[in-house]
Structure 1
Amino acid sequence: MFTLQSLLRRAALELRVLVPGDPGALEAPVAWVHNTELPDPSAYLREGELVLTNGLWIGQVPAARFVQNVKRAKAGGIVFGLRAELPGTPGELIEACRAEGLPLLEISVAVPFTAVSKAVADLLADERKQSLVGMVRRGDALATAISRGAGASGVLDVLRREHDLPLAVVDRMARSLAVAGATLDVDQLQAVAAALARKPPALEVELGGAGLAALFPVGAVGDIDAALICLRPLRELTTPERQALEQTARFLSLEVAKQQAVQGIEMRFAGELLEMILSGGWRAAEVPGRLRAFGVDPDGPLAVCAVAFAGGEAATLYGLAEVIGEFFAAEGVPAVVAGGSQDVVAVLPWRNPEPELPMLAQRLAGSVERRFPGLRPVVGLGGLAAHAAELRPQLLQSREACRVLRRTRTGPSVRAFAELGTHRLLLGLLDTETLRHFSGSLLGPLKDHDRRRGGELEPTLRAFLDHDGQWAATAAALHVHVNTLRNRLARITELTGRDVARTEDRVDLFLALTIEAMDWAQPG
């Protein structure tokens, strides 16, 4: 947009300022020019337009009324054109403009209004040309920065060379990807992530002490994955600044998409490593090489931790692997981090004393909780593996410890497998296939019965054991009569060969149900 000052600099227009208007009015953007002789042109004026008039309305309305009408439409000012019949601008018009703080310019008889319109068109065309040229140059610079691997920080540097703005790039997991002239704390990062989660994303976000900040969404693979943040409200940004920010946000989408692709490859690579550890056999021979690819020494002591959220569904694990990876990177600990369907597992070298591992896990839980407010992270630990060949039992133990913690609403957020109940510790020492065979042989007949006849034998057994063998409490929980419960338990005894009235048989059934719930053979 042009300004009144830019018109005044064109001597050929022979413009003269009679009333400068409110402070800064002469430098304010003007939308266009509007030639009118209506006593009340407010219905036809757009905000910011410059009114051109010869005063033919004089005699129909007082000058003060005409000026008020123009002011009400939020026009940018008035240019009064002198004519032979009126060689001077009326004093009442000058006073009215002064009273309303509206700029008033005078143009000589020799200069037609068409000259003003042409000058405005030239100014806008030149402005548009400069904007396009600047956009092309900026685009070249942004593309060069990305192609050279400058990353999000390099992209912001390109923008900052043109506009001195406080900038940051934040993704929807509240991670700061880059900053330039700005600093965001944890609460501010969380506020940006919350704004991105809205449908549609917010255009401004309140950042506490930093006030309102403009938000320019950055899309990557079919969704809004990050935002370019300018620590200024939208109303304070000029049109060129907004255009530059919008263009930069589009280029940042390329960088974010590239980062996501790299992270996706790393996650798949890490997931394959866990499958190799769990499967054993010939694939276990590939584990050391995979560990080395992540910077983890396979020949030294290794620790495994499994992380999830207490009571959380699998959907809550989104972004958890990335946060855990960032934590270990900040700690200076190389780690393989892989997300599963129920938890996220990290394998890391550990040459420190074993008692220090829970302390690291506590810091990890605290870091995750800060990034996922409202959720309770839990960390399960296995024992230390002397080398890569011993990782499998430690991986299983850490996941079992995590699974137990997930079922608790209170209590410790970090627990080692050795701290679990004795029966779980003993189960963890046995071969998985043996355990699954034991569980399947006992529970298989119950499952077949329930599947064929739509029965409730297995749920009945679980409820009976959960209520410590109390008949009345179990019947009440199942909403059945005690006689119905007795008939079901008798049928369970018949199918399994285990009498629930005998302690040793009840232990077998309890262990079979516990083994099935562990489901250790599942990699996710």
Structure 2
Amino acid sequence: MAGAGSSARTGVPARHLPNQLNDSNPASHDEATRLRKLLALCSHLSALAAQDADLDAVARVLAGGIGTSVAILDRELDLLASAGIAEPDGVMGQLREHAGAAAVDRVLLAVSHHRRALTVPGLTGSERSVAVAPVSVGQEFAGYLLTRSSRNAELSEDMRLLGTEHAAMVCGILLARDLVIAAAGGRARQELVDGLLAAGGREDGEVERWAQHLGLDAGKEHYVLSVSLARPRGGGLDAIESLLARLARDAVVTSRTDEVVAIVPVSSGSVAHPEQARALGRACAAAVTEHHLGIAAIGLGRPTGTAAGISRSYTEARRALAVSERMGEFGGVTVFADLGIHRLLVRIPDIADLRSFAGEVLGELLDEDNAGGAEYLSTLSVYFQENSSPRRTAQRLHVHPNTVSYRIRRIEEITGLSFGLHRDRLMAEVAVEILAALRSRP
């Protein structure tokens, strides 16, 4: 490293500018001319900060003002903008070849740590030096601005370093502006999503406009997917949002207080909803498990062809989640369209009421099962599923049809019900569904 105040150094940059600008010496006049050029350059760069400029504009102005090549890198050394470089994507390789990998890495570390501009000299005296200035956004280090000296440059090394530092400051201002705009855009997008989910079936043009602003295709049906985590870990919902956005690239995905919500278009093809939705839900659950983010429960609403219907689909997705949680099965994928009578049962606030109803209808039959008698409840459940067919019930249970008929008669005797009566049969079916959902044999 050369010492401070030299034209090629890796220490703190010098700030030696001429003090006698009206000296009659021609060298002083040249110095004054270069200083005026530097001031004009800095003024031009400052003006960019007040305009709708980008990093490419800063690179072009800086390269033209000091006659050098310019590269702007993020903190991971990925290229953000450049000017005057034949192969910008290989700028770091060129720099390490120019100055040596170890020297470059030391300077980059020092620049990021101390937030001061430094110079990387070439490996030989004939090599041009590279100035490296930190780009900061507020208190956060955001990247580097690199300029390479020109053999025919009008500005001195000190002046080039000052210009590089000033340009890096302008880059930080522009990046901060972009972050503010992105944050505002994110808040606006979140408000649009929240408005759609809470629209409550509003049928007006405002809801349609919200959907258009979110980029939803009015020619497609959409459904809502909701992901909730049990025992979530730090950043779990944000990570799930990223995973889901990759799995459903056409979806609108956002994190909320306790869930991740996706508004997903129904794809045209041979696979129809809800199988499409079920496949996406399974893929999401698998990704959550693979990334060790916790236990995920996924609820899926039915598709809708209107923006106003998205609120209904979201409500269905949340009810599907509520079913899995209420019935002690948190985790996995629950499709609202598959719930059947559980859509109604989940709305009864007290599970004890459901259990009490099942007990009143089936009565002593539950005691028979608990005592280890014939599997009356499982027989009755399959019997109802097979539309009261003893033959099909027997096939599923691997017993003789006469055994099924006997068990059904015994169930009627024990409960006092007659399955030939619609009212008795309906109550028994609901009671069996309740017990199956609770996975309980009280």
TM class by smaller structure: 0.3 to 0.5
TM-score between the two structures when normalised by the length of structure 2: 0.45
Question: With structure 1 as the length reference, what TM-score do the two structures score?
Answer: 0.39
